[in-house]
Copies of this chain bind each other. A is one copy, B any other.
């Protein structure tokens, strides 16, 4: 079976392949169900829900049990390869993290841009001085409409 696995990995689009490699590096096995989730996430190419992953995989008759999809998403979040998206309506979407912390999301189609330079340093310094808090983390998500949806 491990030969089959290697064959499939070789056929993966680069991003899923890279994510799988990072999973392996972290000491986790790159199994078929986990690969399937990675492929789905890469293919969807937007902020996705677990349900959307499952639907994508069901259409291709390669869906693992829903528990395994949830487990894989959680594992990838813990490894900081996936990231939870904080939406305006709900917080049940995830994205491939790419090491970036923040997102710009199209409320119309779900298209997503990641960026890391959030320019909050001054605000954080000011707030620390004003409040006496020691700030060490933050959530920042921006919402709007992407060029394609604006053109429609």
Contact = CB atoms under 8 A, between A and B. Distances in A.
A28 interface: no
A140 B143 CA distance: 11
A12 B142 CA distance: 38
A150 interface: yes
Interface stretch (A3-11, A18-26, A56-64, A122-130): A122-130
- Classify the interface of chain A: helix, strand, loop or mixed: mixed
- Interface size range of chain A in the complex: 35 or more
B141 A139 contact: yes
A115 to B, nearest CB: 7
Interface string A110-152: 0001010011101110011001111111111111111100100
